[in-house]
Amino acid sequence: MIRSGTLILNAAARLLLPLQLLFSLFLLLRGHDEPGGGFIAGLVAAGAFALYLFAHGRRALRAMLKVSPRDLVAMGLLLGVLSTLPAWWLGEPFFTAQWWTIPVIDFKASTPLIFDIGVYLVVLGSVLTAITALVKTDQQDEQR
Amino acid sequence: MQLAVLGGFLVAGMAPLLHHWFGARTPLVMALLPASLALWLLAQWPTIAAGDSLLLAWAWVPGLDITLTFLIDGLAWLFAMLITVIGALVLVYAGEYLRGHRDLPRFLVVITAFMMSMLGLVLADNLVTLFVFWELTSITSYLLIGFNHTDLAARKAALQGLFVTVAGGLALLAGLVMLALAGDSWSLSELTQRGEVLREHALYTPLLICLLLGAFTKSAQFPFHFWLPNAMAAPTPVSAYLHSATMVKAGIYLLARLHPALGGTDGWVITLSLVGALTMLTGAFLAIQHTNVKKLLAYSTVMALGTLTMLLGIGSEYALIAFVIFLLAHSLYKGALFMVAGILDHETGTKDVTAMGGLRRVMPLTAGVAGIAALSLAGLPPLLGFMGKELMFESVLAAQAWRPLILLLAFTAAFLTLAVAAIVALRPFFGPLRETPRVAHEAPRAMLVGPALLAVLSLLFGLAPGGLEALVGATVAGLGAPAAEVSLSLWHGINLPLLLSLVSLLLGLATFRYWDRLRARLARLQPVTARGPEAGYEALMASIVTVAGWQTRMLQNGQLRNYLVMTLLVLVGLVGHALLFRHGLALDFALSLYFHEAVVAGLMVAGAVAACVMHSRLAAVAALGVMGFSIALTFVLFSAPDLAITQLLVETLTVILLVLVLFRLPRFATLSTPIERLRDLGVASLTGLLITLLMLSVLAGERLPRISDYMVANSQPLGHGHNIVNVILVDFRALDTLGEMFVLALAAIGVYAMLRFHAQEYDARRRTPREESEHD
């Protein structure tokens, strides 16, 4: 049973959320060289949003996310599929990794990174879909 | 070309957007795509005419020997030309036929996607690519037949077409795999060179059966012919395109393509010529029993497909030339006739030929077009159809196997077809003008241009057959008769085929004259024909449902523990068998472990045991948590930080999910009897034992080279990353990961749907309005 509104949890969730999201982005971006990656980062982000959900309720989460978690899943899948295409365009076999360096900030962009972001979104979206669906039925039962 | 075809799918997806911009003119805009492809093909003609073929190589999955290579030889060129030209005309026609229809954008999406699939199918050189496009045509055809999805009959027909062709597609897949094994290549251009090897191969008979099943279902051969007339539930442009000119010829195309590789054996010759001849007769015989103009044409298409199959079966040089001419002639006149049928339906509001009459006075142009096309269907001079029929008779007269029977079947089919042609062309247009549901008037230009062009082409090719010689020569070369002397002419002198034609003309006209009486007689046969193959299909479907219901009640009774027992037993059986009998056990292990490792392992065991014996759910969950965190600790100890982090996070999220569902569950209860618990203990111990043995024997002998060495060595140079786990996930094994992403997404949708619909049912039972109907 989710009862939101305790002061400490509320404040903690509000403060922790940006930190946790930042941490998840950090994990996502460094994943190619250090421990981390899209899957782990997605789980961390999902945990962050779950905490916020417990503290402030489903409506607050919805208002903050702007998009439905299911749309996150769809976007993740789309990114995953799109990242396979640049290789085709260059005449290389399907799914061959492509690497580009963005000049000014010296950042290495690549199709594996795009793919990893896709993984991130799918994991985040799937977990949130399951959790919000559970919370929702929960509240409906309470209202009866 | 590959980019054009793949881009075509993109254009198909953009149809709704284009419709937003161009409105009712969208079909004309979309018709530019096939039209430009046709022009490109036309530009390749000099190469094809010189007898060369174009090989456009493109690797797709080189590791699996799958390529997107396109092969354009005479045969592929002819088919591609038919697809693009008729495709463009059909789009123009459909724009008028479906003017103002609510679902026009959807129609354009699917028909363009179909067009591209069909094009890919006839151009593909690789067997896997061919199969992918083959299945795409089945799926898009399903969507097109069921276009009027509010109509129950249309949905049923669509499903029937899908089941029949996809079942054939499965057989085809098996056949293609065997073909690739026997010929040791996935490339059609190489396989056609290896006919000798293939025909001698032990797999020849099974692979031939599978391939023929695929081709026969797709091309509506007896006894699978029934789905095609039912598919006439589709809008007429679809019938004109898919079910006469293109898709149903995919099976024929496959047979023609494989003719040089597999043809000429007894099995091939007898099966194809007999099935083809039987299909001819079935089609023609069933045609004259119908008064619906589309059904009439559909059954005569079945007859034509039978003819093509039969000619491939006979397989002589002459028969192959006849095949090409008949194929071309049929595509031209049948496309035209279907479009005329659509005009009649559109303008008069009925499809019943007996309800129409005298229309030539109000729609003279349509009548003219119908007349020319029907003359070609009837096989009368000076049209291309006449040449096709003469050549057909001549080939049948020279057939090697079962000549008298085939001749009889072909002859009967020919005169019945003549009657069909007369019915379609004379009944609606001549005689006194009849009242029709809609007041008839001449069709708009956009609907006439397609059929008129096709009819004129049949006439032109018939009058000047010399122009076709190069095309027929190039195509026949692709069929395995490279040095064929092709000389075509309308007049062959007075010979046996001409006499046969004359007799069939008289018999056909007699059939037309007494058609009404004949139909009444044949109607009495209804109980017999009703027990045809379609009844078999219905019975098969019903029995599949019965079996599915039975096995669902047996195996999937809704109790999770039974599923688990079943899954684990299968695992133990299969892996255990492989381990014990295929590889043998090799146990060789020395126990050396540190104290802290022993502690972690002990914690794991304690957690597992505790979870089994606890009498409170919360305690059991906590015990499972202990186990999970101990596993994470193991990963830390053996320096796998990625796995450890993942395990920890998963454990944490599991706790969150459990908290959400925990209090909703019923009280902790003992549901199984002691014997069942013993059984479960047995299954669990067996599984544990198996996994332990598996681990030990994997560790004991390094039977296979370790794949991790490759990963470690190449992670940085190839994947540009130091984190090997991540490089494997997003680069080396990215395709697997992509698959898992889809699984995860499906699981999420499943959870969502289950909770949501369960809630809805719950609401419905309690008859309370839903408080929250907004999406979330």
CB contact under 8 A, A110 and B720: yes
Output the DSSP codes for B656-668.
Answer: HHHHHHHTTSPPP
Quote the ipTM score.
0.90
DSSP class of residue B66 equals E
Flag residues of chain B having pLDDT under 70: 481-486, 490-492, 529-530, 589, 701-705, 759, 762-776
CB contact under 8 A, B641 and A35: yes
Residue A119 has pLDDT above 90, yes or no: yes
Identity of the residue in B656, B748, B772 whose CB atom sits nearest the CB atom of A125: B748
Tell me how far apart the alpha carbons of residues B277 and B269 are, in angstroms, rounded to a whole number. Answer: 12
Tell me how far apart the alpha carbons of residues B74 and B192 are, in angstroms, rounded to a whole number. Answer: 14
- Chain B residue with Cα closest to A80: B738
DSSP element (H, E) containing B641 = helix B641-662
Q: What pLDDT does B704 receive?
A: 64
Residues composing chain B: 776
Nearest to B104 by CA among B96, B343, B231: B96
- Chain B residue with Cα closest to A133: B752
Nearest to B247 by CA among B122, B132, B332: B122
Torsion of Cα atoms, B238 then B241 then B246 then B248, to 10°: 40
Identity of the residue in B63, B646, B747 whose CB atom sits nearest the CB atom of A39: B646
Tell me how far apart the alpha carbons of residues B712 and B724 are, in angstroms, rounded to a whole number. Answer: 7
Residues composing chain A: 144
Tell me how far apart the alpha carbons of residues A105 and B719 are, in angstroms, rounded to a whole number. Answer: 21
| Tokens, residue B310 | 């039969």
> pLDDT (tens digit, 9 = 90+) per residue, A33-79?
888 888 999 999 999 998 888 888 888 888 888 888 889 999 999 99
- Chain B residue with Cα closest to A128: B748
- Chain B residue with Cα closest to A121: B741
CA distances from B531 to B164, B226, B233, B537 (A): 18, 12, 22, 10
Under a CB-based contact definition with an 8 Å cutoff, are residues B453 and B470 in contact? Answer: no
What sign for the dihedral angle of Cα B624, B628, B630, B631? positive
Alpha helices in B351-402 (DSSP H): 364-378, 384-397
Tell me how far apart the alpha carbons of residues B118 and B130 are, in angstroms, rounded to a whole number. Answer: 10
Tell me how far apart the alpha carbons of residues A117 and A25 are, in angstroms, rounded to a whole number. Answer: 10
Tell me how far apart the alpha carbons of residues A132 and A128 are, in angstroms, rounded to a whole number. Answer: 6
Task: Please state the separation of Cα B3 from the chain's center in Å.
Answer: 22
Determine the longest span between alpha carbons in chain A, in angstroms. 60
Averaged over A107-121, what is the pLDDT?
88
Residues facing residue B66 across a β-bridge: B61
Q: Give the number of beta-carbon pairs within 8 Å between A and B.
A: 162
Identity of the residue in A94, A113, A137 whose CB atom sits nearest the CB atom of B759: A137
Q: Is A126 on the interface with B (CB under 8 A)?
A: yes
- Min Cα separation A109/chain B (Å): 11
Choose, out of A84, A92, A134, A139, the residue to mutate when testing the contact with B (most B CBs < 10 Å): A134
DSSP class of residue B126 equals B
- Each residue of B490-515: b (16+ CB within 10 Å) or e? eeeeeeebbebbeebbebbeebbeeb
CB contact under 8 A, B741 and A70: no
CB contact under 8 A, B771 and A140: yes
Omega of the bond prior to B229 within 30 degrees of 0, cis? no
Tell me how far apart the alpha carbons of residues B175 and B214 are, in angstroms, rounded to a whole number. Answer: 8
pTM confidence score: 0.79
What sign for the dihedral angle of Cα B558, B559, B564, B566? negative
Angle between helices A69-82 and A111-143 in degrees, nearest 10: 160
CB contact under 8 A, A40 and B730: no
Identity of the residue in A35, A37, A138 whose CB atom sits nearest the CB atom of B729: A37
Identity of the residue in B653, B735, B742 whose CB atom sits nearest the CB atom of A47: B653
Give A 28-67 residues with CB within 8 A of chain B.
31-40, 43-44, 46-47, 50, 58, 62
Under a CB-based contact definition with an 8 Å cutoff, are residues B125 and B117 in contact? Answer: no
Q: What pLDDT does B769 receive?
A: 47
- Min Cα separation B759/chain A (Å): 7
Q: Is A72 on the interface with B (CB under 8 A)?
A: no
CB contact under 8 A, B759 and A1: no
Contacts of B738 in chain A (CB under 8 A): 80-81, 84, 115
Give burial (CB, 10 Å; 0-12/13-18/19+) of A140. Answer: middle
CB contact under 8 A, B755 and A133: yes
Contacts (Cβ under 8 Å, ≥6 apart) of B704: none
Contacts (Cβ under 8 Å, ≥6 apart) of B536: B223
Q: What pLDDT does B775 receive?
A: 43
Torsion of Cα atoms, B629 then B635 then B641 then B642, to 10°: -80
CB contact under 8 A, B656 and A47: yes
- Chain A residue with Cα closest to B57: A91
Give φ, ψ of B705 to 5 degrees.
Answer: -60, 140
- Chain A residue with Cα closest to B731: A112
Nearest to B659 by CA among B625, B707, B696: B625
| Tokens, residue B363 | 């729609």
CB contact under 8 A, A40 and B751: no
Tell me how far apart the alpha carbons of residues B164 and B153 are, in angstroms, rounded to a whole number. Answer: 16
Under a CB-based contact definition with an 8 Å cutoff, are residues A77 and A87 in contact? Answer: no
Q: What pLDDT does B573 receive?
A: 92
Omega of the bond prior to B382 within 30 degrees of 0, cis? yes
Q: What pLDDT does B701 receive?
A: 65
Tell me how far apart the alpha carbons of residues B228 and B501 are, in angstroms, rounded to a whole number. Answer: 28
DSSP element (H, E) containing B506 = helix B496-513
Task: Please state the separation of Cα B387 from the chain's center in Å.
Answer: 33
CB contact under 8 A, B653 and A134: no
Identity of the residue in B653, B741, B766 whose CB atom sits nearest the CB atom of A46: B653
Identity of the residue in B722, B727, B751 whose CB atom sits nearest the CB atom of A133: B751
Q: Is A87 on the interface with B (CB under 8 A)?
A: no
| Tokens, residue B700 | 């004991």
CB contact under 8 A, B721 and A112: yes
CA distances from B142 to B124, B243, B290 (A): 22, 12, 24
- Chain A residue with Cα closest to B720: A32
CA distances from A85 to A90, A95, B618 (A): 9, 7, 48
CA count, 13 A, side-chain hemisphere, B79? 30
Give φ, ψ of B55 to 5 degrees.
Answer: -115, 110
CB contact under 8 A, B657 and A119: no
Neighbours of B411 (CB within 10 A): 19
